[in-house]
Amino acid sequence: MSDLAIDVTVTPEYRAEESSEAESRFVFSYTVSVHNGSPHSVQLMARYWKITHGSGEHQEVRGKGVVGQQPLIGPGQQFRYTSRAMLQTPVGVMEGVYTLLDTSTQRVFEVAIPTFRLAVPYQLH
């Protein structure tokens, strides 16, 4: 199965009420949609994120599934979830990879998560 049949989109949002510029804490939520355009069910087994702060510092996050789940996504179906990231700077980027399992062939494959920007509104960077 081609990983092109799996479409990942991300919508970030700044969480001003949870952030504190004085404490260099900038909180963002991001909603991810994983659409399975393949003819087979897939299971999202693991995630990898690289979070890069505006300072150039980065951190990596790896784990099983997403938000405590390893969702099974049927043909033509979509799985959506929201999670959070905290930066030390008002601007940064995130990118990553999902590891999925084609349940019909038991083949494991990876799908890139497109790079997206995390930015406090009205920052000049």
Q: Please report the pLDDT score of residue 4 as a whole number.
A: 60
60: three-class secondary structure by DSSP: strand
Q: How far apart are the first and last CA of the chain?
A: 40
Tell me the per-residue pLDDT of 72-93, one tens digit each, with 9 for 90 and over: 999 999 999 999 999 999 999 9
Contact 37, 31 (CB under 8 A): no
pLDDT at position 109 over 70: yes
Which domains are delineated in the chain? 6-119 (2.60.40.1470)
Average pLDDT over residues 35-44: 96
Tell if the pTM clears 0.85, that is, is over it. yes
Q: What percentage of the chain carries pLDDT values higher than 90?
A: 94
Average pLDDT, rounded, for the chain = 94
In this structure, what are the phi and psi dihedrals at residue 15, rounded to the nearest 5 degrees? -110, 80
Cα 49 → chain centroid? 7
Q: Computed over its alpha carbons, how large is the radius of gyration of the chain? A: 16
pLDDT at position 114 over 80: yes
Q: Which two tokens stand for residue 67?
A: 């938000």
pLDDT at position 24 over 60: yes
In this structure, what are the phi and psi dihedrals at residue 104, rounded to the nearest 5 degrees? -80, -30
pLDDT at position 125 over 80: no
Q: Please report the pLDDT score of residue 1 as a whole number.
A: 46
Q: Please report the pLDDT score of residue 122 as a whole number.
A: 79
pLDDT at position 67 over 70: yes
